[in-house]
């Protein structure tokens, strides 16, 4: 084993030298020192509700591990291009000083910053970064308004918006002719926002909301001893309606009641939305389009499954690497201009090139509709056509965009 | 020299004549071996009858498939078993396995018949395996997700494409060291040298292009793009490519565009698109280049192309998700 590693090391070194000599990426005199691109990762602290299912507990290193994997991938390529990539970690306390943090990041020479934060801290960071050589990547905030009336020129949205997620799900349900919906929404702001996205999407693709109910509990303990008996009765009664429907659609990002719905409903109907069949940008069991390699690499690195935010972080950091390779540059302006310039595209295990919408800087991407166990399908669905790219049937399209990037 | 179909028919024809049977009826047909990724089987297609004559079980997730130079054995990447299986072409029995490194997908044999160069997607390595002694001779570090493997006709230059690094790595046969890296479009999948060794054709699945590279200078001679009416750009995903021995035509499988692009290899112009089955992946010529066989993963069939006419003449149902194809030598 040791001999093998040594041999690999020696060969790797030889490769770098050979690569540089032949390709002339850098002059021979400077060959030993790779040009560095620093990528930051900010985790904004937030209060998290304990999820109903243990399977939904978010790992402390969620997102971070995806970024680390992309740095490793970028550095493997960097051996051939004489570029190196480094990840720097930051955290923003709840109500912390965004300006001070951005100042520190700028002083560290970091230009590309992955941000795991909700809307408010993300906007505070964006304000603080204005006028600096800094580009933020939104890994976590799904708020559609961030891509629309509140859009910012210094934010690239890697995470799909609620509208994109809703459209991905709706296309599938409409394709299945499960067009009559019973919509149940939660009482917290994100739940209401998701319900809005689903209503808008139903209208866009011709689904009909035949009945709506609100579940007005805003806080709930996830764990109770023998609480299941009550839940079983309550959900059956709550979902008993006289209107016939095809599918129960739930908007409960807060996870107050959504995960209790499948199989506890009064009628024998499937559940979709934030529980049951859910739209997701990544799934730990996704293995199409070469994703097996990605999942294997990630699991080897992190010792756990890859989640959507890990994928977002990987995609953001990998995109910086891709831009550095293509432009043969490591300076901030060259990479930023390439990312936003319209030529950029990156392979990311979704069966097609992922690129960035120029009108609101949202990554266009296929979205899976999935059970907990497996992706069921990938949207856009066949037949939902678009003059530019079928992925632009998901989310806000250019003509309806209210985003003015500045 | 090129082994002609005529010579082949002549030899077996003698036997047939001795048996007082019409020569054509007794001729041994070329056999196509198709790896069925989802079924863990290989379908054997008789290319005279144009029908599947046998199907036999192999290891898990069979993908890359090739014949040994003597035509006696089929070599198969059993990706999920982390091994290369050696299958007797006549008896369909797995006679031994070769160490391949993890998750082998594609490989290429040295023109002399040994060694075998295997791309290990999970480990960013190309593994060099002696097919006689079954020993790993070397592990060559390459870019992220190595996939396509090619070798120059003289055996001196090995080529690997890395799907996430997006490079073509040129490797010296003797030293196992990388001598050059050429950046190509996204997700390079497959590399094919022309018979004269003067061009290297590399497909980029996500980039939607094929680059023709001069292996001597490492310059890109031509970046070929594809436009098909009523097919969205994202669906055009070049994967397999084969160039006729006379260097006149290249045939490129375009994945979910469900078509083979016929490219004039002298002018690099795309002359036509042949409609085949769904998600067409890999290609193989019969040794006489009469037929080109394409594996169509999502329609569970292969298409048979009459090369002279540049027409699809038949679809033949295989197992589920046919992935790779190789054809017997005689």
Interchain CB distance below 8 Å, B177 and A23: no
Give the confidence band of A216 by pLDDT, cuts at 50, 70, 90: confident
Interchain CB distance below 8 Å, A77 and B166: yes
Q: What is the pLDDT of residue A224?
A: 67
Q: Which two tokens stand for residue B220?
A: 């890109």
Interchain CB distance below 8 Å, B163 and A15: no
Convert the pLDDT of each residue in B72-84 to its tens digit: 999 999 999 999 9
Dist CA B59 CA B42 (whole Å)? 10
Quick one: closest CA in B to A294, which residue? B122
Q: What is the pLDDT of residue B145?
A: 93
Convert the pLDDT of each residue in B98-113 to its tens digit: 998 888 889 999 999 9
Interchain CB distance below 8 Å, A77 and B164: yes
- Which strand (E) or helix (H) includes residue A12? helix A2-23
Cβ-Cβ contacts under 8 Å, B163 against chain A: 290, 347
Quick one: closest CA in B to A14, which residue? B177
Interface check for A304 against chain B (CB to CB < 8 A): the answer is no
Asked if A90 and A41 count as a contact pair (C-beta separation under 8 A), the reply is yes
Cβ-Cβ contacts under 8 Å, B220 against chain A: none
Interchain CB distance below 8 Å, A353 and B186: yes
Cβ-Cβ contacts under 8 Å, B183 against chain A: 325-326
In eight-state DSSP terms, residue A252 is -
What is the layout of strands, in order, in the sheet containing B41-46? B51-57, B41-46, B31-36, B322-327
Interface check for B223 against chain A (CB to CB < 8 A): the answer is no
Q: Which of B175, B182, B174 is nearest to B148 (CA)?
A: B182
Q: A130: which residues sit within 8 A by CB, 6+ positions away? A: A154
Convert the pLDDT of each residue in A22-41 to its tens digit: 443 433 334 568 899 999 99
Q: What is the pLDDT of residue A2?
A: 39
> Considering chain A, what percentage of its residues have pLDDT values greater than 70?
91
pLDDT for A379 beyond 70: yes
Asked if A159 and A390 count as a contact pair (C-beta separation under 8 A), the reply is no
Q: What is the DSSP string of A146-206?
A: GGTTT--TTEEE-SPPHHHHHHHHHHHHHHTT--EEEEEE-SSHHHHHHHHHHHHHHHHHT
| Series of mean pLDDT values for 10-residue runs along chain B (330 residues) | 43 45 59 97 97 97 95 95 95 94 91 95 92 95 95 98 96 97 96 97 97 97 96 93 98 97 98 97 97 97 98 98 93
Interchain CB distance below 8 Å, A293 and B103: yes
Predicted ipTM of the assembly: 0.82
Instruction: For helices A308-327 and A291-302, give the axis angle rounded to 10 degrees.
Output: 110
Q: A62: which residues sit within 8 A by CB, 6+ positions away? A: A116, A307, A309, A310
In eight-state DSSP terms, residue B30 is P
Give the confidence band of A223 by pLDDT, cuts at 50, 70, 90: low
Interface check for B257 against chain A (CB to CB < 8 A): the answer is no
Task: Measure in Å the smallest separation between the Cα of A299 and chain B Cα atoms.
Answer: 12
Cβ-Cβ contacts under 8 Å, B181 against chain A: 19, 22-23, 80
Structural domains of chain A, ranges and CATH numbers in brackets: 35-160+283-365 (3.40.50.2300), 163-278 (3.40.50.2300)
A167, B170, B212 from B162: Cα distances, Å: 34, 11, 16
| Span A291-298, average pLDDT | 94
Position of tokens 């028919």?
Answer: B9
CA-based R_g, chain A, Å = 23
Interchain CB distance below 8 Å, B234 and A390: yes
Cβ-Cβ contacts under 8 Å, B180 against chain A: 18-19, 22-23
Task: Measure in Å the smallest separation between the Cα of A85 and chain B Cα atoms.
Answer: 14
């Amino acid at each position: 084993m040791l001999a093998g590693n040594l041999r690999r090391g020696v060969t790797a070194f030889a490769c770098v030298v050979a690569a540089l000599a032949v390709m002339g990426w850098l002059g021979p005199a400077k060959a030993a020192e790779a040009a560095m691109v620093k990528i930051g990762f900010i985790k904004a602290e937030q209060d998290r509700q304990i999820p109903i299912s243990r399977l939904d507990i978010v790992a402390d290193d969620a997102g971070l591990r995806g970024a680390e994997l992309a740095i490793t991938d970028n550095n493997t390529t960097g051996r051939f291009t004489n570029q190196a990539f480094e990840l720097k970690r930051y955290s923003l306390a709840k109500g912390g000083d965004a300006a001070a943090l951005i100042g520190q990041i700028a002083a560290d020479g970091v230009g590309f910053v992955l941000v795991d934060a909700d809307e408010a801290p993300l906007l505070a960071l964006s304000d603080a970064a204005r006028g600096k050589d800094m580009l933020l990547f939104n890994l976590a905030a799904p708020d559609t308004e961030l891509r629309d009336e509140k859009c910012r020129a210094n934010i690239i949205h890697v995470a799909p918006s609620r509208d994109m997620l809703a459209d991905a799900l709706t296309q599938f349900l409409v394709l299945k002719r499960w067009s009559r919906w019973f919509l149940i929404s939660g009482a917290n702001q994100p739940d209401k926002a998701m319900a809005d996205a689903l209503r808008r999407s139903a209208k866009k693709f011709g689904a009909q909301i035949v009945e709506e109910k609100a579940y007005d509990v805003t806080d709930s303990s996830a764990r109770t001893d023998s609480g299941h008996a009550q839940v079983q009765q309550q959900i059956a009664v709550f979902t008993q309606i006289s209107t016939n429907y095809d599918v129960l659609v739930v908007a409960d990002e807060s996870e107050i009641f959504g995960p209790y719905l499948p199989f506890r409903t009064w009628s024998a109907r499937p559940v979709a939305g934030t529980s049951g069949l859910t739209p997701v940008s990544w799934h730990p069991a996704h293995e199409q389009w070469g994703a097996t390699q990605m999942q294997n690499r990630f699991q080897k690195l992190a010792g756990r499954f890859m989640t959507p935010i890990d994928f977002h972080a990987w995609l953001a950091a990998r995109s910086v690497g891709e831009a550095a390779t293509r432009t043969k540059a490591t300076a901030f302006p060259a990479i930023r201009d390439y990312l936003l310039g319209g030529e950029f595209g990156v392979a990311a295990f979704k069966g097609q090139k992922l690129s960035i919408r120029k009108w609101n800087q949202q990554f266009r991407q296929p979205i899976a509709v999935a059970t907990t166990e497996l992706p069921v399908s990938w949207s856009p669905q066949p037949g939902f056509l678009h003059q530019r790219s079928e992925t632009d049937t998901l989310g806000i399209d250019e003509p309806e965009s209210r985003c003015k990037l500045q | 020299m090129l082994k002609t179909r005529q010579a082949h028919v002549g030899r077996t024809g003698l036997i047939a004549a001795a048996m007082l049977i019409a020569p054509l009826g007794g001729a041994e047909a070329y056999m196509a071996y198709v790896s069925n990724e989802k079924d863990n089987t290989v379908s054997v297609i008789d290319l005279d009858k144009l029908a599947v004559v046998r199907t036999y079980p192999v290891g898990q997730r069979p993908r890359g498939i090739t014949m040994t130079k003597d035509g006696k054995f089929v070599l198969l990447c059993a990706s999920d078993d982390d091994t290369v299986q050696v299958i007797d072409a006549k008896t369909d029995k797995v006679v031994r396995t070769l160490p391949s490194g993890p998750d082998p997908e594609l490989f290429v044999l040295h023109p002399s018949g040994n060694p075998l160069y295997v791309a290990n997607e999970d480990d960013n390595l190309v593994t060099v395996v002696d097919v006689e002694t079954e020993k790993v001779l070397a592990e060559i570090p390459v870019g992220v997700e190595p996939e396509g493997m090619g070798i120059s006709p003289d055996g001196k230059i090995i080529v690997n494409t890395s799907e996430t690094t997006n490079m073509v790595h040129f490797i010296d046969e003797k030293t196992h060291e990388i001598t050059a890296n050429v950046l190509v479009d996204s997700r390079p999948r497959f590399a094919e040298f022309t018979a004269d060794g003067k061009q290297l054709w590399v497909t980029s699945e996500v980039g939607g292009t094929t680059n023709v590279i001069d292996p001597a200078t490492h310059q890109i001679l031509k970046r070929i793009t594809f436009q098909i009416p009523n097919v969205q750009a994202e669906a055009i995903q070049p994967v397999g490519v084969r160039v006729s021995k006379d260097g006149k035509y290249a045939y490129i499988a375009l994945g979910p565009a469900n078509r083979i692009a016929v490219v004039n290899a002298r002018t690099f112009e795309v002359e036509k698109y042949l409609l085949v089955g769904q998600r067409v992946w890999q290609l193989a010529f019969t040794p006489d280049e009469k037929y080109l066989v394409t594996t169509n993963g999502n329609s569970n069939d292969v298409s048979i192309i009459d090369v002279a006419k540049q027409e699809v003449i038949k679809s033949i149902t295989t197992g589920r998700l046919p992935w790779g194809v190789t054809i017997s030598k005689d």
